[in-house]
């Protein structure tokens, strides 16, 4: 089993109630709520935590892209990835990912990821994302009806640029380039590619057709994930592909402490902050044309494990810490309890790539660092033997070799 370190770079000093008429943590949040110096310190904290994770055996360090939001202040994941590629040694640099439709021209993504792959000695995982409606339609002005066509055209350009034997001309609908000659090339040739999604049929077929890894980036736990994850594996089986657990990734907020009492004391405020500050009104989250008709039908057909009422309670701050744990929004407690819960989650969902969210909301750095330490030394080593019968084609080979050589091993306490 593989573990990838990830956290949303959430601004940690927002008021409990946002002041605008239609409260949103994206697109139109008042600028005076954000102190840029605090943001800079926040970025440095994330870099330190990921550097620590690299020494503790995480298989990947994940960065993402969002725009005009305090929920995830990472407008260019490639910049954060560059800070990690040259200062870490083992873990993959997992970019989940670049919003391809927003790059003009998209071969900029091919160039920057190639730079990162060279700098990291072949440790890049290339994540391609469609982007949230807030990012694409409202912050960057891309028509939702054009989004998928732009994404696929950009994806074709980027992958060809990495693998073509000579310079070529590209004559697409949105991009017309006389000379495409990306230099340098990635060390890996074409890096492994991941595509995050939220359950659309088109994304499932894309990752199967192209042998990409599918990332279900949910923050609502096991019960909510079951119908979507099972739908994906049903599609894999229906299409005749191997049900390989490493072709799917899943996110999980994790809170490890020396005792259950300490877990609640140390993490409850940060968990509440995380769920209450990620607000997106429906007029930003569901613009016409963003989702295809087929995926809308599938979403209506699919029975959700956790209804909108429970998610709204979380957004209102009405869930207790242990209610959030019971529902699977978080996995919390002692190392023994956490590893038992994660083993159940991984085996039930058949997921071999776990994206561990070790920092959330306004969690202090020292608590997140302790979370890293306890998980890296007392949880992950007990779960690594899961799914060893399957080949992982979606994590760079050099990262797999280096992590296997240096990751903490199971230790038996002295009597």
Cβ–Cβ contacts within 10 Å for residue 30, how many? Answer: 9
- What would be the CATH architecture of the domain defined by 2-405? Alpha-Beta Barrel (3.20)
Query: Are 334 and 377 within 8 A, CB to CB?
Result: no
Whole-angstrom distance, CA of residue 352 vs CA of residue 91: 16
Question: What are the pLDDT digits (tens) for 193-207?
Answer: 999 988 788 899 999
How distant, in Å, are the alpha carbons of 82, 349, 356 from that of 65?
14, 26, 17
Sorted by where each begins, the domain ranges of the chain are: 2-405
Q: What's the pLDDT score for residue 412? A: 55
pTM of the model: 0.94
Is residue 259's pLDDT more than 90?
Answer: yes
Question: What are the pLDDT digits (tens) for 277-330?
Answer: 887 777 887 788 887 777 666 666 654 555 668 878 888 888 999 999 999 999
Residues 6+ apart with CB under 8 A from 336: none
Q: What's the pLDDT score for residue 413? A: 53
Mean pLDDT of the chain: 92
Question: What are the pLDDT digits (tens) for 331-370?
Answer: 999 999 999 999 999 999 999 999 999 999 999 999 999 9
């Amino acid at each position: 089993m593989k573990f990838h370190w990830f956290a949303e770079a959430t601004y940690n000093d927002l008021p409990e109630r946002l002041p605008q008429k239609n409260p949103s943590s994206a697109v139109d949040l008042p600028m005076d709520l954000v102190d840029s110096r605090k943001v800079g310190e926040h970025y440095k904290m994330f870099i330190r935590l990921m550097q620590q994770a690299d020494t503790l055996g995480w298989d990947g360090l994940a960065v993402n892209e969002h725009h005009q939001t305090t929920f995830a202040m990472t407008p260019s994941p490639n910049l954060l990835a560059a800070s990690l590629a040259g200062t870490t040694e083992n873990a993959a640099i997992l970019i989940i990912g670049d919003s391809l439709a927003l790059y003009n021209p998209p071969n900029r993504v091919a160039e920057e990821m190639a730079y990162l792959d060279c700098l990291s000695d072949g440790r890049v995982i290339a994540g391609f994302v469609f982007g949230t409606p807030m990012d694409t339609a409202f912050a960057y002005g891309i028509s939702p009806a054009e989004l998928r066509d732009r994404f696929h055209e950009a994806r074709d350009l980027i992958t060809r640029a990495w693998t073509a034997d000579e310079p070529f001309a590209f004559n697409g609908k949105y991009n017309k380039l006389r000379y495409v000659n990306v230099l340098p090339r990635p060390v890996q040739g074409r890096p492994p590619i991941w595509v995050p999604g939220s359950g659309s049929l088109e994304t499932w077929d894309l990752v199967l057709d192209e042998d990409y890894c599918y990332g279900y980036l949910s923050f609502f736990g096991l019960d909510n994930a079951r119908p979507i994850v099972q739908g994906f594996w049903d599609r894999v089986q229906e299409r005749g592909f191997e049900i390989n657990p490493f072709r799917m990734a899943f996110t999980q907020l994790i809170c490890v402490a020396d005792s259950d009492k300490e877990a609640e004391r140390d993490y409850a405020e940060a968990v509440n902050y995380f769920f209450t500050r990620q607000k997106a009104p429906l007029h930003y989250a569901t613009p016409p044309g963003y989702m295809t008709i087929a995926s809308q039908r599938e979403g209506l057909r699919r029975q959700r494990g956790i209804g909108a009422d429970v998610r709204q309670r979380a957004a209102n701050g009405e869930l207790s810490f242990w209610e959030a744990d019971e529902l699977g929004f978080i996995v919390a407690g002692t190392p023994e309890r956490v590893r038992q819960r994660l083993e159940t989650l991984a085996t039930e969902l058949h997921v071999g790539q776990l994206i561990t969210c070790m920092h959330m909301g306004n969690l202090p750095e020292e608590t997140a660092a302790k979370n890293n330490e306890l998980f890296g030394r007392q949880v992950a080593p007990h779960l690594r033997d899961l799914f060893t019968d399957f080949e992982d084609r979606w994590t760079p080979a050099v990262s797999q070799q280096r992590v296997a050589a240096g990751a903490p091993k199971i230790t038996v306490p002295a009597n």
